Amino acid sequence: MQKGKNNSRRDFLKKLSLGIGGSAVALSACNSPDFDDFLQKNFKTLSKEDIDEIILNLEKKYSEKYGKKFSVSAEPAIDNTLFGYALDLSRCIGCRRCVYACVDENNQSRDPQIHWITVLQMDKEKGIDYMHSDIHYNPELVPEEGHFYVPVACQQCANPPCVKVCPATATWQEPDGIVVVDYNWCIGCRYCMAACPYGARHFNWSEPIVPDEEMNPISHYLGNRPRPKGVVEKCTFCIQRVREGKYPSCVEICPTGSRKFGNMLDPESEIRYILENKRVLVLKAELNTQPNFYYFFGV
Amino acid sequence: MFIMKDFNSTAQKIIFFNCLIILNLFIGCNNNTSIENDLQNPVISHLEDKQNVEIAVSRPPFSDEYIFPCSECHADMEVNIEPRILEMHEEIVESYNHDSENRWCLACHDANTRDSLRLASGKLLDFKKSYKLCGQCHGDKLRDWKVGVHGKRSGDWNGKKQYLLCVHCHDPHSPHFKKLKPDPPPVKEEDIDSIE
């Protein structure tokens, strides 16, 4: 799991050629709606009418493909909202309920397996130490003596290195702080994956596989809608849920109540309370990515 | 705390950084109509000392064994306040591990009115409000729970929320949070995606 910079770059170049291959295939399918997708302007610069039409097309396409009524929302950011997340490291027991709730809600590929959340098991003695963390721990019961757990997903950085390196402007930060990917615009170059210091971006090496009956049909264009092969995906704080006022599904599932979410601009929110009253930290602060995802000790 | 030592310097930086953010937040808050509206009609209601109590979650059901009301048996029983090994409520007696050297059942249950809990003051307390009982000795946790930091809120981050009670997560008789079987680890090939 510890790949040096060089290594990942080489890796990355290898895949770059693959990505281009993928685009060529898309080009050759001239008359399909996918070709329109290909020519589509970047999502955020489209007019309202364009968006409506794209959404309608997608809903039709997905409904046919998965045999159930699909909705694809294009709900914009709610005014005066900046989402923040805080995770209580003194409560998390590493049970991974969040990992799979996220997979189910967000239609991550089951095979090849994609997990937006990775839980790192660490030694209490060593503190936060990525070198000595273990993501494959699998005891009978958690938590294990002497360990603590650090779930990691996209940190929704205010200064996101992934966005800066995207040559296609296929990924950007929304006004509510969520870093999104337009899958129709992503060319699969994986620069963003190399740039992300949290390993939070994931690439669809092949057509993602989600059983039809498990496909969540309530989707957002910039979130959990079905992804094609060859694009990058990541946590969006469950954009399809949070823009409707609901908590992300990892917050809902967590049996320990370690996961806190809300509007940092609302002085009454629990997230604000945490920022003001608890000692919080961010991962890899020295990189100045300025995450909107915090960790704290509730004790 | 254990890891805190290593964190001190990072934490300071972060706290500094937070101050910056929070400063920004305040600036950003002027003319913030939607939030002002929320404040005028608080959908998120707070627990008693802040007005508008709302706990939409009902207490966990009593186990089938101990038919409620408790008074069905206890009303006719002679009260015996002597701490002893009971011949009833076996599971509770066996698991009982909550400062048990210093306390017995009747620190929390009322001797004469078994259908109620009892505060240290002698005041009876409905089972629905057991969090107040817990708060007598765990005031810091109760405080954090009321602001949504300890325990769990679910529902709408900007609207109606449900709270879990202390006793949803902690058995009052053996309160340590129960260990769980973890869901499966990721498959090994996924290592390429993990954090560096």
Question: B32 in contact with A at a CB cutoff of 8 Å?
Answer: yes
Per-residue confidence band for B62, with pLDDT thresholds at 50, 70 and 90: low
Query: Best mutation site among B157, B158, B169 for testing chain A: the one with the most A CBs within 10 Å?
Result: B157
Q: How far apart are CA A75 and CA B67, in angstroms?
A: 50
CA distance A36 to chain B (A): 31
Residue in A with minimal Cα distance to B156: A246
Chain-chain contact of A199 with B7 (C-beta, under 8 angstroms): no
The 8 Å CB, 24+ separation contacts for B140-143 are B141/B166
Q: What is the pLDDT of residue A43?
A: 78
Q: What is the pLDDT of residue B45?
A: 32
Q: Where are the beta strands (DSSP E) in chain A?
A: 71-73, 83-88, 118-123, 147-152, 171-173, 179-181, 202-203, 218-220, 232-233, 259-263, 280-281, 293-296
Chain-chain contact of B182 with A257 (C-beta, under 8 angstroms): no
> What is the tens place of the pLDDT at every residue in B148-190?
999 999 999 998 888 899 999 999 999 999 999 999 999 986 4
Q: Where are the beta strands (DSSP E) in A74-186?
A: 83-88, 118-123, 147-152, 171-173, 179-181
Per-residue confidence band for B61, with pLDDT thresholds at 50, 70 and 90: low
For A30, how many CA atoms within 13 A lie in the half-sphere containing its CB?
Answer: 0
| Domain covering A52-299, topology | Alpha-Beta Plaits (3.30.70)
In this structure, which amino acid lies at residue A241? Answer: R
Residue in A with minimal Cα distance to B181: A141
Q: Output the pTM of the full model.
A: 0.85
Q: What is the pLDDT of residue A178?
A: 98
Closest CA to B99 of B50, B167, B163, B172: B172
Q: How far apart are CA B36 and CA A6, in angstroms?
A: 51
Yes or no: say if B170 and A86 are a contact pair by the CB < 8 Å rule.
no
Q: What is the pLDDT of residue A47?
A: 86
Q: What is the pLDDT of residue A253?
A: 97
Interface of B with A in 170-189 (CB under 8 A): 177, 179-189
Average pLDDT per consecutive 10 residues, chain A (299 residues; last block may be shorter): 42 37 37 55 81 94 95 96 98 98 98 97 93 95 98 98 96 97 96 98 97 97 97 98 98 98 95 96 96 95
CA distance B73 to chain A (A): 35
Residue B33 in this model has a pLDDT that exceeds 50: no
> Any idea where the domains of chain A sit in the sequence?
1-39, 52-299
> What is the tens place of the pLDDT at every residue in A182-208?
999 999 999 999 999 999 999 999 999
Q: How far apart are CA A170 and CA A183, in angstroms?
A: 7
CB burial string A2-19: b at 16+ within 10 A, e below: ebeeeeeeeebeebeeeb
Question: B38 in contact with A at a CB cutoff of 8 Å?
Answer: yes
| Residue partners of B11: CB distance under 8 A and separation at least 6 | A279, A280, A281, B4
